[in-house]
Structure 1
Amino acid sequence: MHTMWKGTISFGLVNIPVKLHSATENKDIKLRQLHEECKSPLQYERTCPVCEREVENEEIVKAYEYAKNKFVVLDKEDLDNLKKEQDDKAVEIMDFVKLEEIDPIYFDRSYFLSPNEGGSKAYSLLRKTLEDTNKIGLAKIIIRSKEQLAVVRVYKNTIIMETIHYPDEVRDVQDVPNVPEEEDLGEKELTTAKTLVDQLTAEFDPEKYKDDYRESLMELIEAKKNDEDVTTAKPKPTPDNVTDLMEALEKSLDKNKGKKGTTKKKTTQKKTNTKKTSDKKTDEKETASGKKTS
């Protein structure tokens, strides 16, 4: 299992070197977008609308937009220093609470925790303590440059950490539109509804639930594949060296045409100026010669 993070979890004076592993995976079927005409996968480029060109990774900086089209640019060094300050801190369990005190709306993602070298005994101590007290730990951790609030609890003999949202990340229920106030419900309606709930009540068994849409989609894909109802993307056109050479030569000719015309014009002008100078000198000589004869 891939290790996402290494660090230390502590409670009191107990320090536990641990590794973090993702506990869940997204099994959505990813569908690519193709150009209908040639069945080639589409590509998306990061372009600058002002410079009108594609932007390379090394040209990109991060910024916070505090008002429309007004940004505070954050240098990589600033962000790295801030991240290092947080990474140097151990993940400390701040409080112990009961799991039922946290509403499920706060839960985000789950991660397995395994002991790192030399941490097995402390790991077992925390696990046993959480089991016996029926409590969970509340801690903070930095994951992917974001500080997360998290709970640490036991799941099937393994310590699991689940990130939870901060209170200001959970939207106010007062903003939900069209929620009715208390209604006067008939006793018969309420009794019937409760009876239906009782009939459908069962112990939670996650194995009996499945993603019907995903399975149907995979069946459809396999059926089309078996019927050879498939398509192959056309290879990207390879530049023709001959075509490129001719194009380059033609561009060079077009470019030099202008220069040639300018050069010719300058040469003609130069010849004209030279001829005028020569004629002037001849006139001066003839005038001087005439004066001398006189």
Structure 2
Amino acid sequence: MHTMWKGSISFGLVNIPIKLHTATEDKDIKLRNLHKKCHSPIKYEKVCPVCDVEIKSEEIVRAYEYTTGKFVVLEDEDLEKLKKENEDRAVEIIDFVKMEEIDPIYFSRAYYMSPNEGGGKAYSLLRKAMAESGRVGIAKIVIRSKEQLAVIRVFENTLVMETIHYPDEVRKALDVPNVPAEDKVTDKELQTAVMLIDQLTTKFDPAKYTDDYRTALIELIEAKRTGKELVTPAEKEPVSNVTDLMAALQASIDKTKPKKEPAKRKRAPVKKKQA
């Protein structure tokens, strides 16, 4: 597994040399843009609109636009120095908290943590101590020139670091338009909705869920590549146009209700013939 960051993490006076490995991967099918006439890939050139010339990479500088049309230019040397000063620091676990106190909206990206040379025992100690306490660690780390807030937790006997958003990066739920302030539902509607949830409740099994669009896209690409006849998948049942809430809930319950097996008919006892 590719190592994308090396450093150390500490809690109290315990220091653990670690490596980070990306825990997830993007499996989206990437499509290219071609010229419709000749099927040549489209080139995206960097052109200065004032000088009307194509710009080379070495001619580009980075800047912050503090107001429209006004920029503060940042030199590469300044950014590299700032980056190195932060990346060289050991990652320190600031606090330990309960996992359920962190809403999932804060989570961003996951990384597996493995111990670097000499860090095996301390790694095991942190893993076992967090498992015993039921707590997760909160730490800061600089990844790709950005300081990240992160949660360190145990997943399948491996320490995982999950970057999380800072509070000011999460938009306020109160700003979402048209959210009803009160629940104007009847007791019967609520009870029926809870019954529907109960019928659809199952144990979470990640292997059960697949990316149907990606699978269909791969099949389409392969069929076109090999010249095979395209097969149209069976159409899903049309969505019912039920506007009455109770009728929709009841229809959903009837649809998801487990089918009962037909009861086996009992055979009548055979009478013994009298001698």
TM-score range, shorter chain: 0.7 to 0.9
Q: Which shows bigger deviation, 119-128 or 176-185? A: 176-185
Q: 2:12: which partner in 1? A: 12
Between Structure 1 and Structure 2, the one with more helix by share is 1
Alpha-carbon distance, 1:78 to partner: 1.1
Q: 1:120: which partner in 2? A: 120
For 1:141 and 1:183, locate their aligned partners in 2 and report how far apart those are by CA, in whole Å.
Answer: 42
Q: 1:247: which partner in 2? A: none
Q: 2:81: which partner in 1? A: 81
Report the secondary structure of 1:219's partner residue: helix
Alpha-carbon distance, 1:127 to partner: 0.6
Report the secondary structure of 1:125's partner residue: helix
Q: Any gaps of 5 or more consecutive residues in structure 2? A: 230-275
- Return structure 1 stretches of 4+ with deviation > 6 angstroms: none
Q: Which amino acid aligns with 1:227?
A: G
Alpha-carbon distance, 1:228 to partner: 7.2
Alpha-carbon distance, 1:88 to partner: 2.0
For 1:195 and 1:155, locate their aligned partners in 2 and report how far apart those are by CA, in whole Å.
Answer: 33
For 1:116 and 1:46, locate their aligned partners in 2 and report how far apart those are by CA, in whole Å.
Answer: 42
Once the two structures are superposed, the pairs formed by residues 25-174 of structure 1 within 5 Å of their partners are: 25-174=25-174
Counterpart contact for 2:65–2:72, Cα < 8 Å: yes
Q: Which amino acid aligns with 1:184?
A: K
For 1:81 and 1:215, locate their aligned partners in 2 and report how far apart those are by CA, in whole Å.
Answer: 45
For 1:228 and 1:74, locate their aligned partners in 2 and report how far apart those are by CA, in whole Å.
Answer: 54
Counterpart contact for 2:7–2:88, Cα < 8 Å: no
What value does the CA root-mean-square deviation take over the aligned residues? Answer: 1.0
Alpha-carbon distance, 1:82 to partner: 1.0
Report the secondary structure of 1:3's partner residue: coil
The percentage of aligned residue pairs carrying the same residue is 67
For 1:128 and 1:140, locate their aligned partners in 2 and report how far apart those are by CA, in whole Å.
Answer: 21
Q: Which amino acid aligns with 2:154?
A: V
1:185 maps onto 2:185 in alignment: yes
Counterpart contact for 2:17–2:119, Cα < 8 Å: yes
For 1:148 and 1:184, locate their aligned partners in 2 and report how far apart those are by CA, in whole Å.
Answer: 41
Q: Which amino acid aligns with 1:152?
A: I
Q: 2:235: which partner in 1? A: none
Q: 2:208: which partner in 1? A: 208
Q: 1:228 to 1:44 in 2, by over 3 A?
A: farther
For 1:228 and 1:210, locate their aligned partners in 2 and report how far apart those are by CA, in whole Å.
Answer: 24
Q: Which amino acid aligns with 1:119?
A: G
Q: 1:234: which partner in 2? A: none
For 1:34 and 1:210, locate their aligned partners in 2 and report how far apart those are by CA, in whole Å.
Answer: 30
Q: 1:238: which partner in 2? A: none
Alpha-carbon distance, 1:178 to partner: 1.1
For 1:162 and 1:93, locate their aligned partners in 2 and report how far apart those are by CA, in whole Å.
Answer: 13
Alpha-carbon distance, 1:183 to partner: 3.1
Larger Rg: 1
Report the secondary structure of 1:188's partner residue: helix
Alpha-carbon distance, 1:87 to partner: 1.4
For 1:183 and 1:226, locate their aligned partners in 2 and report how far apart those are by CA, in whole Å.
Answer: 55
Counterpart contact for 2:6–2:20, Cα < 8 Å: yes
What TM-score results when the alignment is normalised by the length of structure 2?
0.82
Alpha-carbon distance, 1:110 to partner: 0.2
Q: Any gaps of 5 or more consecutive residues in structure 1? A: 230-294
Q: Which amino acid aligns with 1:150?
A: A
For 2:110 and 2:88, locate their aligned partners in 1 and report how far apart those are by CA, in whole Å.
Answer: 23
